[in-house]
Structure 1
């Protein structure tokens, strides 16, 4: 549900978030709804401010049950370090607010219950968002780290698998809790289902990343007339899968193929490699692309 714009950024309330808020109201805790909402907003504003400080344009913010997603223009097409810093900003602020609340618990009198609840909310936000599952912050951090050593789509698939395992653990914990205490943790069920549904969406988006990156590079070259370029030198028997893992989103790449005497055998552009890849496969030798 779209609720309006703040500083030009569209704010969207996810249906899962509305469900959690409804459960709070039904449980007679409507007074705590604003506290939860404020904690989520502070968490997400940290992402927004960090993204803007790095020069990214934030299009919209979708508030989720356990945090939010800032849809940042072309973030997935940028460097892994940028994604890591932006993803880490949210949990960092939540942990900072939890620390302030903890001090409040120790010193406050009448406000002690407020600080205790605010501490619990922010600690939960930070802890849950640091889980290595997409689209959570922890999942984005882990994917960015993996993408530095392997294909982006493969890194996404790995994190999605971890996320599914976390969903199973959450559902098992619900069953165990019911068996021991005869209580059902609705929040855990919502979290488990949410992670499964969101993971499918992330998997679809990852499949189109390479095409988006190449389209952006071509557009930048057409608009500016030049593009930052990096060169790699490879021997003819180098595996192409190992080479394309070195291709980053912010530069255009040229592969220089040399023989055993380091004499140039041929030159391949990044575009040529990607165009031949479906026919040759990741395990092909780079000499097959010449």
Structure 2
């Protein structure tokens, strides 16, 4: 259901979310549920405002039964620095709101329970999202840091393996909780299932990201006639996999090839490099393309 617009961004309320609110209202817990989802919305708004500040267009924010999602155009194509800034904005905003709640908790006696609960919600939201697992903020930050030293796909694969490890740990914790208290911790099990499914999806999508980024760059260059470029210099016997991992996501890449005497042998555009990769493979030498 469409709930309106905020700063040009469409706000949607999922039908399941409406049903959940109605259910908890019947149980007398609607106030706490609304506090939880306002904390989630605040977290997502921080992502949205950072993305908008970096020049990305935010289309929608949708409230879901177990959180919220901001739909940002070309977010998957962001460079490492932009991805870190956007991902970190959410946990930082949640930590800030938690700190404010704990400050007010000691000042306003009539609202101590509310501020304490709201502070705990925001603190747990920030800490959970900082787990180094995809698609959480911590996983995106870790992948962006790793992609500074290696290609995006291998960086994603590493974080996906860590995500599987965290998933296993959550299941073990749920098992320990059942063994000690004879209760099933649905929160841990749902979180584990969520991370397992979404991490697998992230791993699949990573393989298509490079071609999608290149297509966007070419369209942008055709439309504007000019765009920022990154120039790289490579020895003629340099391996292709060492070159493509240095390609930036936010500028068009030009590779200059020099021989052992540092004389220019030629230059290749990013498009030519990727086309050559498809024909000769990732372990080929750059001089094979001249």
Q: Which residue of 2 aligns with 1:131?
A: 131
SS class of match (1:110): helix
Q: CA RMSD in A?
A: 2.3
TM-score, length-scaled by structure 2: 0.91
Q: Which residue of 2 aligns with 1:263?
A: 263
Deviation at 1:218, TM superposition (A): 1.2
Q: Does 1:154 align with 2:126?
A: no
In structure 2, C-alpha distance between the alignment counterparts of 1:83 and 1:178, rounded to whole Å: 38
Mapped contact 1:16–1:194 kept (Cα < 8 A) = no
SS class of match (2:109): coil
Q: 1:205 to 1:13 in 2, by over 3 A?
A: farther
In structure 2, C-alpha distance between the alignment counterparts of 1:140 and 1:25, rounded to whole Å: 35
Mapped contact 1:102–1:119 kept (Cα < 8 A) = yes
Q: 1:203 to 1:5 in 2, by over 3 A?
A: farther
In structure 2, C-alpha distance between the alignment counterparts of 1:14 and 1:211, rounded to whole Å: 32
Deviation at 1:25, TM superposition (A): 6.1
Deviation at 1:223, TM superposition (A): 1.2
Mapped contact 2:230–2:248 kept (Cα < 8 A) = no
SS class of match (1:132): coil
In structure 2, C-alpha distance between the alignment counterparts of 1:168 and 1:15, rounded to whole Å: 31
SS class of match (2:131): coil
In structure 2, C-alpha distance between the alignment counterparts of 1:35 and 1:243, rounded to whole Å: 49
TM-score, length-scaled by structure 1: 0.91
Kindly provide the CA deviation profile for residues 61-86 of structure 1, in whole angstroms up to 9, marking residues without a partner as x.
24456653322111222321111111
Mapped contact 2:257–2:266 kept (Cα < 8 A) = yes
Q: 1:239 to 1:71 in 2, by over 3 A?
A: same
Deviation at 1:244, TM superposition (A): 0.5
Deviation at 1:234, TM superposition (A): 1.0
Q: Which residue of 2 aligns with 1:70?
A: 70
Kindly provide the CA deviation profile for residues 143-174 of structure 1, in whole angstroms up to 9, marking residues without a partner as x.
11111111111111211111111111111101
Q: Does 1:108 align with 2:114?
A: no
Mapped contact 2:132–2:159 kept (Cα < 8 A) = yes
Q: 1:211 to 1:70 in 2, by over 3 A?
A: same
Gaps (5+ residues) in structure 1?
none
Q: Which residue of 2 aligns with 1:48?
A: 48
In structure 1, C-alpha distance between the alignment counterparts of 2:157 and 2:64, rounded to whole Å: 22
Q: Does 1:285 align with 2:288?
A: no
Mapped contact 1:40–1:66 kept (Cα < 8 A) = no
Q: 1:121 to 1:162 in 2, by over 3 A?
A: same
* Greater mean deviation of Cα atoms: 128-137 or 221-230: 221-230
Mapped contact 1:43–1:67 kept (Cα < 8 A) = no
Mapped contact 1:66–1:128 kept (Cα < 8 A) = no
Q: Which residue of 1 aligns with 2:249?
A: 249
In structure 1, C-alpha distance between the alignment counterparts of 2:206 and 2:243, rounded to whole Å: 19
Q: Does 1:93 align with 2:86?
A: no
SS class of match (2:70): strand
Q: 1:18 to 1:202 in 2, by over 3 A?
A: farther
In structure 2, C-alpha distance between the alignment counterparts of 1:205 and 1:147, rounded to whole Å: 15
In structure 1, C-alpha distance between the alignment counterparts of 2:19 and 2:187, rounded to whole Å: 10
SS class of match (1:262): coil
Deviation at 1:269, TM superposition (A): 1.5
In structure 2, C-alpha distance between the alignment counterparts of 1:231 and 1:140, rounded to whole Å: 27
Q: Which residue of 2 aligns with 1:6?
A: 5
